[in-house]
Amino acid sequence: MRPEDGELLDRFLDALWSERGLSERTLAAYRSDLAAFARWLGGRGLLAARREDVLRYLAHRHAAGARPRTGARLLSALRRFYRHQVREGRLDEDPTARIDGPRIGRPLPALLSEAEVERLLEAPDVADPLGLRDRAMLEVLYATGLRVSELVGLALHQVALREGWVRIVGKGAKERLVPLGEHAVDWLERYLREARPLLVRADRLTSLVFLSRSGRPLSRQAFWQRLRGYGLQAGIRRPFSPHTLRHAFATHLLDHGADLRSVQMLLGHASLSATQIYTHVARARLRELHRRHHPRG
């Protein structure tokens, strides 16, 4: 890749970070996709690319086995990059204009029934400090719909137990208040009273709520491993992850009459379209209930 292209990528990614607050992981994905296109162009450079180059590159990736979702992500990265160059005055025309992305179906999230969630919540051994921590984490996750990164990064000052709220700073540095509910408050209070003092180390003072056995921050991967074990204990054989509880939170709210806009606010989605997938989940469940229980289903 030419040094000039490297500088263009740096400026573009800096602009994305400052304007939209994208995560390091997302920025790294943009850099990887755009750098691969720059290498494919050879010595011509990113600013010399034309519409035909973009189409041939997408066709090349498709022939190499890229899935439609990958092609859509590549086109999205290219489109955002070239629109930025036009806004900055480096290009007069966007080479990605009038290029349609591949049609992809958005996958429905994995579903857990309310009975399965109850069994999962009851799986940890709360007589053990780590089990009590895990029970509190599961209760908070299901009660709030937090992302797992928000859960493991939760700090003491973000939790207002008396009021029953947590204050979350999510994607794009957007803040939201999420109610905990009585069960999550009770388990969180018990964890903070009985288990967390046993996990804190004098030489590793931290403001994080949930700690590992060594008093260090708990990683997403470690929590996922614990969750998988609890899933097996609960008799849940199909694959699921911490995000599955976020899906269960949203779906069960809708099942019990919550409106879509409220669920959007609780999940921290930037747009309502990201939340609308749960309406498909709720409709599918209603159809199944109708089929099973209606005399003419």
Neighbours of 87 (CB within 10 A): 11
Q: Which of 20, 171, 228, 285 is labelled catalytic?
A: 171
- Distance between CA 244 and CA 202 in Å, rounded? 35
Selected catalytic residue, list 84, 196, 246, 247: 246
Find out whether 9 and 16 touch, Cβ atoms under 8 Å: no
278 given a catalytic annotation: yes
Q: Burial, 31: exposed, middle or buried (Cβ in 10 Å; 0-12, 13-18, 19+)? A: middle
147, 226, 247, 252: which is the annotated catalytic residue?
147
Q: DSSP letters along 51-92, please?
A: HHHHHHHHHHHHHTT--HHHHHHHHHHHHHHHHHHHHTTS-S
**Is-catalytic flag, 190?**
no
Of residues 57, 82, 142, 278, which has the active-site annotation? Answer: 278
Q: Among residues 2, 80, 176, 243, which one is catalytic?
A: 243
Residue 222: both structure tokens together: 């470690």
- Catalytic (active site) residue 67: no
Identify which of 270, 282, 210 has the alpha carbon closest to the alpha carbon of residue 242: 210
Active site residues: 147, 171, 243, 246, 269, 278
